[in-house]
């Protein structure tokens, strides 16, 4: 892929963290040219290494890191179940981030944190419309620009909907947390559409009925959110919602649903 500029948000103090900046540069030594901005909590590295390798090396220093962009790549975010609809009042709350991994090629990093789910598997899809006038019922079918059958996110573009993202697995606390790269999606094409989570598991098109080839028999749509373009790289990057001040560090370590959301760590 060649050398690419990758940006991370890193949990840093605005004052007195110079020693950590040195530690961070040492941890990333040999991977490429590194720029650390303590005031903004920003790390930019020009590297040929995979983003995941850089991420792991940053977090090995004891600080949290979140990928915020690849060079000139686009990004988007969906706040799950924050549509304001009276139709879909559920305890499910979450954040889904989409980050292009190359400004020229398809492929999107999908980063998901969702709370309030029943433990187990839940279908996870992008739907064709951001119309939530009737809640999750009005967002249309799965995003499917190639008119393909429903399938697994591991399948080729001709054997899956572009919006087929498989399943989320919620743990006993109701939290689902996953990060993966989807080779089919493009950020520019999904802005204005919707993310939907379903009550049941997606059978990935392997069921023995017609519905399996439509939505994987994944059942009721229990939560959704409109996909919106994110602010530019590092513009308001630490804040999810100005209304309650919850930061991206909070979303990793506290429930996004219920009264504990407002309790700062």
Shared domain for 61 and 83, answered yes or no, is: no
Are 33 and 46 contacting, i.e. CB atoms less than 8 angstroms apart?
Answer: yes
Asked whether residue 86 is assigned to any structural domain, the reply reads yes
Shared domain for 112 and 163, answered yes or no, is: yes
Shared domain for 54 and 100, answered yes or no, is: no
Are 254 and 261 contacting, i.e. CB atoms less than 8 angstroms apart?
Answer: yes
**pLDDT tens digits, 159-218:** 999 999 999 999 999 999 888 889 999 888 999 999 999 999 999 999 989 999 999 999
Asked whether residue 35 is assigned to any structural domain, the reply reads yes
The secondary element (H helix, E strand) that includes residue 51 is helix 51-59
Shared domain for 100 and 44, answered yes or no, is: no
Residue 246 pLDDT > 60: no
What's 42's domain CATH number?
A: 3.30.70.100
**pLDDT tens digits, 50-91:** 777 888 899 999 988 887 766 556 788 898 875 445 454 568
C-alpha torsion angle, residues 13, 16, 21, 24 (rounded to 10): -60
Q: What is the mean pLDDT of residues 16-20?
A: 86
Q: What is the pLDDT of residue 1?
A: 45
Nearest to 189 by CA among 128, 241, 232: 128
Shared domain for 56 and 100, answered yes or no, is: no
Q: What is the mean pLDDT of residues 121-138?
A: 93
Q: What is the pLDDT of residue 240?
A: 45
- Extended strands (E) in the chain: 4-10, 32-37, 42-47, 65-70, 75-80, 93-100, 108-115, 120-127, 133-136, 164-170, 176-182, 194-198, 221-229
Strand duo 4-10 + 65-70: pairing: antiparallel
Range with lowest mean pLDDT among 45-49, 102-106, 183-187: 102-106
- Residues 147 and 179: their CA atoms lie apart, in Å, by 27
- Residues 114 and 94: their CA atoms lie apart, in Å, by 4
Q: What is the pLDDT of residue 247?
A: 58
Shared domain for 56 and 81, answered yes or no, is: no
**How many structural domains compose the chain?**
2
* 99 vs 141 pLDDT, higher one: 141
Residue 12, domain extent: 4-70
Nearest to 123 by CA among 90, 164, 184, 77: 164
Q: What one-character DSSP code corresponds to residue 158? A: G
């Amino acid at each position: 892929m060649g050398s690419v500029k990758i940006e991370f948000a890193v949990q840093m103090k605005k004052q007195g963290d110079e020693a950590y900046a040195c530690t961070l540069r040492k941890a990333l030594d040999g991977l490429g040219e590194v720029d650390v901005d303590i005031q903004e909590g920003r790390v930019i590295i020009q590297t040929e290494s995979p983003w995941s390798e850089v991420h792991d090396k940053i977090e090995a220093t004891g600080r949290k890191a979140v990928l915020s962009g690849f060079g000139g790549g686009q990004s988007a975010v969906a706040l799950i179940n924050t549509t304001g609809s009276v139709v879909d009042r559920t305890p499910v709350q979450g954040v889904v981030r989409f980050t292009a991994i190359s400004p020229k090629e398809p492929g999107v990093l999908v980063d998901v944190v969702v709370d309030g789910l029943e433990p187990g598997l839940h279908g996870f899809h992008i739907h064709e419309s951001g119309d939530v006038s009737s809640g999750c019922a009005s967002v249309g079918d799965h995003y499917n620009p190639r008119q393909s059958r429903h399938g697994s996110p591991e399948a080729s573009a001709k054997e899956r909907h572009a919006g087929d993202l498989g399943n989320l697995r919620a743990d006993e606390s109701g939290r689902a947390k996953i990060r993966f790269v989807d080779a089919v999606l493009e950020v520019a094409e999904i802005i204005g559409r919707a993310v939907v989570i379903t009550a049941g598991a997606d059978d990935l098109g392997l069921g023995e009925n017609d519905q399996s080839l439509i939505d994987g028999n994944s059942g009721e749509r229990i939560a959704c959110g409109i996909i919106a373009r994110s602010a530019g790289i590092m513009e308001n990057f630490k804040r999810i919602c100005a209304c309650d001040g919850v930061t991206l560090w909070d979303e990793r370590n506290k429930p996004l649903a219920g009264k504990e959301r407002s309790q700062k760590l």
